[in-house]
Amino acid sequence: MIKSHHSSRVRAITRKRFLKLAAAAGGALAAERLFGTFAPAFAQSGPTYDPAVAAKPVQTRPIPSSGEQLPIIGMGTAVVYEIETSDAKFPALVEAVRAFLQGGGKLIDTSPTYGRAEQNLGEIFKRTGLRDKAFLATKISIIGEPAGIEQNAASMKDLGTNRLELLQVHNIKDTAVHLKTIRRLKDEGKVKYVGITTSSERSYPEYEQIMKAEKIDFIQIDYALDNRKAEERILPLAKDRGMAVLTALPFGRGRLFGKARGKPLPEWAAAELDCTSWAQFFLKFLLSNPAVNGVIPGTDKPEYAVDNLYAGRGRIPDAKQRERMLADWEKLG
């Protein structure tokens, strides 16, 4: 279970329990602003969000290749969106996407390799009518040009769309071949941006070479508070090359919550960074790197969507605060 922690509690609690237990003056107002049409459903949970912060829009950063502004908090769909629509958890996925898109988020990242995730998103868009609010990103992850073309056609069908905001070569598999396909689709107006991804340090040398040789709008890289290898070469290169950066696995596959279990959130983070949960702490650290355009945490519950988006409404750490966050993290042992 993904864990989160509020600064006023000593024991670790789940993110869901945190949002239900936390209460403070102004909490109802904050809930109304954050949850929008979901306020009645969450009114009794009384999240302790600062109304002044809750009233702010989610911050955006420009995509270097176009200048288009994109909210800094995205949503990932690996693993948690791979269930059947008949699963009892599926309604929560619908509401998570609704809360995310109506709460100021845009970028939803998925892949044909994520089980039923694309099909489920397509169904969710049908039920919510919110496809036009989404910056939809998916991938080609297969060998061979014909297979890649076929896979992408299936993705668009499953997603119920005839256009993609971002199409990425997944884990730089057959990159040259698929970049050709993606650029053709871009010329045809079916794809807006071109990208590549990796989540394996072993592929970083090849990844760098592709970044140096190709004109690419987005890169996606694994990056977390306890996984900062990308800071050495990948992130500086992306900034130099004018490439937007999306960070995959921002919670380190749950490792960060495991280490923070039972530990209080640093009080100064709440006072100086508008930080009310460990999840926000982890996301804000990544966003404090100026090369990063957006984080894409897996988000399968509406309360998680709201909590993540709150990280993008409040203050982002400066360089000195970033170092303090890292020092506090290291003290946890």
For 57-112, the pLDDT digits (tens) are 999 999 999 999 999 999 999 999 999 999 999 999 999 999 999 999 999 999 99
Instruction: Quickly count: other Cβ atoms within 10 Å of residue 333's Cβ.
Output: 6
The model's pLDDT over 102-160, given as tens digits with 9 standing for 90+, comes to 999 999 999 999 999 999 999 999 999 999 999 999 999 999 999 999 999 999 999 99
Which CATH entry fits the domain spanning 60-331: 3.20.20.100, 1.10.150.110, 3.40.50.720, 3.30.310.50?
3.20.20.100
3-state secondary structure of 83: coil
Give 237-261 pLDDT, tens digit per residue: 999 999 999 999 999 999 999 999 9
The tokens for 250 are 């921002």
Dihedral sign for Cα 223, 227, 231, 237, please: negative
What is the structure's pLDDT at 10?
Answer: 26
Mean pLDDT of the chain, nearest integer: 89
User: CA-to-CA distance for 229 and 61, rounded, in angstroms?
Assistant: 23
Q: pLDDT > 70: what percent of the chain?
A: 86
Q: Are 252 and 226 in contact (CB under 8 A)?
A: yes
Lowest mean pLDDT among 4-13, 93-102, 181-190, 205-214: 4-13
Res 160: pLDDT: 98
* DSSP assigned state of 296: -
State the DSSP string of 163-185. -EEEEEEGGGTTHHHHHHHHHHH
The whole-model pTM stands at 0.88
Give the full edge-to-edge strand order of the sheet including 244-248. Answer: 75-76, 107-109, 135-140, 164-169, 191-198, 218-222, 244-248, 294-295
What is the percent of the chain with per-residue pLDDT over 90, rounded to a whole number? Answer: 85
User: Interior CA angle at 185 toward 183 and 187, to 5°?
Assistant: 70
Q: Is 131 helix (H, G, I), strand (E, B) or coil?
A: helix
pLDDT of residue 168: 98
